[in-house]
Amino acid sequence: MTVLTQSRKPRFAAETMTPYTFITPAILVMLGGLLYPVFMAFYLSFYDWEIGRDLAKAPFLGVDNFVRMVQDPQVWEVLWVTLRFGFWTITIEMTLGVALALLLEKPIRGASIFRTIFILPLMVSPVVVGLIWRYLFDARIGWINYYLGAFFGIEPQVWLGDADLAFFAIVFTDIWQWTPFIFIIVIAGLQALPSEVVEASTIDGANWYQQIFLVKLPMIKSILIIALLMRLIDVFRGLEVMLIMTGGGPGRSTELLSLHIYNRAFDTQQLGYASAISVLLILIVFAISTAILTMANPMKSKSDV
Amino acid sequence: MNDTFQRQLYHYTALIFLALIALAPIWVMIATSFKNDVLVQDGTPLWFFFHPTLENYEYILTRGKFDRYLTNSVIVAVSSTIITLLLGGFCAYALARLDFKGRALMANSTLLVRMVPPAVLAVPAFAFVTLTGVDSDLAVLTFFYTALNLPFAIWLLFGFYKQIPVELEEAAIVDGASPLQVFFKVLFPLMTSGYAVAAIFTFRIAWNEFILALLLTGRTTRTLPVGAAGFITDTGIEWGRIMAMGTLIVIPPLLFTFFAARQIIAGMTAGAVKG
């Protein structure tokens, strides 16, 4: 026990030191790998830099790239595509996911097997998801045309070659991959509900409809908001599936904002202009993220416990 | 009795139907990977009953550079997972347990950087490669994946650390343990499931990522998704071969899912449900 008094002073030093030694390595990596690129995108957005040209000799444009962006009908077009895509996928995924969770929340035999199966689409690489659905939607050998013809007598469609049908195809693919995400989050939330409340509402004579819309869903409101906002951000993150399935075409019917940045940078090779659009993307995602932090901050509420 | 039976039947029918929708596309890929070119081009769906051939796999494993892609993918995914868990574990512990100046700011900005869209990283990553000339270096890719995964790992592990009673640490400190001893000897054994979940998610992102891998790798450092996308050419797609490649890519994440589904669901919902 003499050790205790002896080590008092060094331990005080250690206690003021350690928090920063614990967090510094992670901060450095995030600064270098995430924040520096974000600032680099800001920086590049003021230059006219093309692939193959020396960055040091790239002309400084000031805010010209941003002026051009605001006046660029293509940017508004892909923004509109992105919003439509987000609207349809998120509306359908939230509705379907919540409906399925309500349908299947009862603990039943084999529940874990079914849950395992339901998270499989989430684990498939976006590149592979794009490949699988490009094959299924193929006009000539795709299985979708085959079954639509065999069961409903529908003529074969050139799914990925028609603007409206291609848009439908990427929405459908997204729903396949992401409805499970909503489903699992909601079902976990429902099962975490205290059973007394639900029982009490039954005793009070609430019917099936009232129980769902007046008791259960309001109680998992914060979970629903987080799931919604996470999906909202994902709409502005992904591009691989569309890149593989359609490349953004036909026209720009399936070109989401992220994919547009990629195509601008590496297809039309305008890196500076692509960076300006990146800044727009950052601002949009930042606004949504701030909404998440204000409405439901998991770290804050947990540290209050 | 009859009523519950009917309800169960209803439930199971719905569940099986959904399971089929979730599985069918994955199965289509696997089945197609075992078909020869004639069957693939036929366009008549054959789910099970055909004479399976290994020629697609044989081609990919012998004629393609599959072994190289695989090695690269394993190196990048495994090393970025290990580094992410190590650095993220330290950081999450400090955020969950230690009081220090800037803690709240740190917690909030961690959540914010989690939202950075990979498309935003594309041009700067390309700029980095052209400016420094460190093209085709797996270390660079590992670094970016670690940065991409750290915010999520910290967020996840934070929740797990919060669940451990503080008294355990206090007792250890009273007994004279140093912070590092507390971290490794007292807490780590209690955190294994948390680290397992974080590992699965980190691995999954690093294993599946495409855009940064495409931009940051060269001929010798390509990863599996980049290799697979390389099969798409202007002259058409060799579906049998590309499906074989896709099947091989999907195997590790699917195996993980089967072995750790319970943990994955816990991890996926940890933040949302406890918030």
Which residues have C-beta within 8 Å of that of residue B217, sequence separation ≥ 6?
A: B72, B136, B138, B141, B223, B226
Looking at residue A185, what is its pLDDT?
A: 86
Q: Does residue B218 surpass a pLDDT of 50?
A: yes
Looking at residue A301, what is its pLDDT?
A: 47
Nearest CA in chain B to A105: B11
Q: Does residue A10 surpass a pLDDT of 60?
A: no
Q: Does residue B29 surpass a pLDDT of 90?
A: yes
| Average confidence score pLDDT of chain A | 85
A184 near A119, Cβ under 8 Å? yes
Angle of the A271-295 helix axis to the B118-132 helix axis, nearest 10? 140
A vs B: CB pairs below 8 A: 316
Sign of the alpha-carbon dihedral angle for A175, A176, A179, A181:
negative
Chain-chain contact of B88 with A26 (C-beta, under 8 angstroms)? yes
A234 near A174, Cβ under 8 Å? no
Angle of the A126-136 helix axis to the A143-152 helix axis, nearest 10? 40
Q: Does residue B273 surpass a pLDDT of 60?
A: no
Task: Out of A2-11, A16-25, A275-284, B45-54, pick the least confident.
Answer: A2-11
Sorting pLDDT into bands at 50, 70 and 90, what band is B206?
very high
Q: Find chain A residues with C-beta within 8 A of B146's C-beta.
A: 29, 33
Please state the length of chain B.
275
Of B233 and B91, more confident: B91
Chain-chain contact of B90 with A184 (C-beta, under 8 angstroms)? no
Q: Find chain A residues with C-beta within 8 A of B41's C-beta.
A: 141
Structure tokens at A79: 């923004």
Sorting pLDDT into bands at 50, 70 and 90, what band is A300?
low
Highest mean pLDDT: which of A38-42, A101-105, B260-264, B267-271?
A38-42
Looking at the DSSP bridge assignments, the partners of residue A50 are: A270
Looking at residue B272, what is its pLDDT?
A: 55
Give Dmax over CA atoms of chain B in angstroms: 74
Q: How far apart are CA B147 and CA A29, in angstroms?
A: 6
Structure tokens at B162: 């919060």
Task: Out of A40-54, A290-304, B46-60, B104-118, pick the least confident.
Answer: A290-304
Looking at residue A62, what is its pLDDT?
A: 81
Q: Does residue A226 surpass a pLDDT of 70?
A: yes
Q: How far apart are CA A63 and CA A47, in angstroms?
A: 9
Q: Does residue A72 surpass a pLDDT of 80?
A: yes
Residue the block writes with tokens 């580094």:
B83
Sorting pLDDT into bands at 50, 70 and 90, what band is B135?
low
Distance from CA of A234 to the nearest CA of B (A): 8
B196 φ/ψ angles, rounded to the nearest 5 degrees: -65, -45
DSSP conformational letter for B232: E
B147 near A29, Cβ under 8 Å? yes
Looking at residue B160, what is its pLDDT?
A: 86
Q: How far apart are CA A277 and CA A24, in angstroms?
A: 32
Residue the block writes with tokens 């009673």:
B165
Looking at residue A302, what is its pLDDT?
A: 45
Task: Name which of A41, A114, A119 is nearest B257 (Cβ-Cβ).
Answer: A119
Q: Which of A4, A12, A100, A117 to mutate to test the interface with B (most CBs of B within 10 A)?
A: A117
Which residues have C-beta within 8 Å of that of residue B196, sequence separation ≥ 6?
A: B260, B263
For B164-196, write each residue's pLDDT tens digit: 888 888 888 888 888 788 888 888 888 888 898
Distance from CA of B46 to the nearest CA of A (A): 10
A48 φ/ψ angles, rounded to the nearest 5 degrees: -100, 90
Mean of pLDDT values over A60-64: 84
For A84-132, write each residue's pLDDT tens digit: 999 999 999 999 999 988 888 777 777 788 888 988 999 999 999 999 9
Q: How far apart are CA B29 and CA A85, in angstroms?
A: 26
For B248-263, write each residue's pLDDT tens digit: 999 999 988 888 877 7
Task: Out of A2-11, A253-262, B65-74, pick the least confident.
Answer: A2-11
For A44-53, write each residue's pLDDT tens digit: 999 888 877 7
Q: How far apart are CA A48 and CA A264, in angstroms?
A: 13
Of B60 and B108, more confident: B60
Q: How far apart are CA A157 and CA A166, in angstroms?
A: 10
Distance from CA of A252 to the nearest CA of B (A): 17
Counting residues of chain B whose pLDDT is more than 90, the rounded percentage is 30
Predicted structure pTM score? 0.88
Sorting pLDDT into bands at 50, 70 and 90, what band is A14?
low
Nearest CA in chain B to A27: B91
Task: Name which of B8, B22, B272 is nearest A226 (Cβ-Cβ).
Answer: B272
For B4-26, write each residue's pLDDT tens digit: 788 788 888 888 988 999 999 99
Q: How far apart are CA B275 and CA B273, in angstroms?
A: 5
Mean of pLDDT values over B226-232: 88
Which residues have C-beta within 8 Å of that of residue B189, sequence separation ≥ 6?
A: none
| Average confidence score pLDDT of chain B | 86
The letter for the amino acid at B106 is M
Looking at residue A7, what is its pLDDT?
A: 44
Q: CA-CA-CA-CA torsion for A7, A13, A16, A20, nearest 10 degrees?
A: -110
Nearest CA in chain A to B31: A132
DSSP conformational letter for B52: -
Looking at residue A166, what is its pLDDT?
A: 95
B126 near B60, Cβ under 8 Å? no
Looking at residue B99, what is its pLDDT?
A: 82
A125 φ/ψ angles, rounded to the nearest 5 degrees: -55, 135
Q: How far apart are CA A177 and CA A124, in angstroms?
A: 8
Structure tokens at B154: 């910290």
Looking at residue B2, what is its pLDDT?
A: 66
Q: How far apart are CA B69 and CA A130, in angstroms?
A: 19
For A247-271, write each residue's pLDDT tens digit: 888 989 999 999 999 999 888 888 8
Chain-chain contact of B11 with A104 (C-beta, under 8 angstroms)? yes
Q: Does residue A298 surpass a pLDDT of 60?
A: no
Looking at residue B76, what is its pLDDT?
A: 95
Q: Does residue A59 surpass a pLDDT of 70?
A: yes
Of A231 and B267, more confident: A231
How are the residues of chain B apportioned to helix, strand and coil, as percentages rounded to the nearest 5? 80, 0, 20
Of B131 and B148, more confident: B148
Q: How far apart are CA A243 and CA B119, in angstroms?
A: 12
Q: Find chain B residues with C-beta within 8 A of A100's C-beta.
A: 14, 18
Distance from CA of B45 to the nearest CA of A (A): 6
Mean of pLDDT values over B105-125: 85
Looking at residue B169, what is its pLDDT?
A: 85
Cβ neighbours, 10 Å, residue B243 = 27
Looking at residue B210, what is its pLDDT?
A: 93
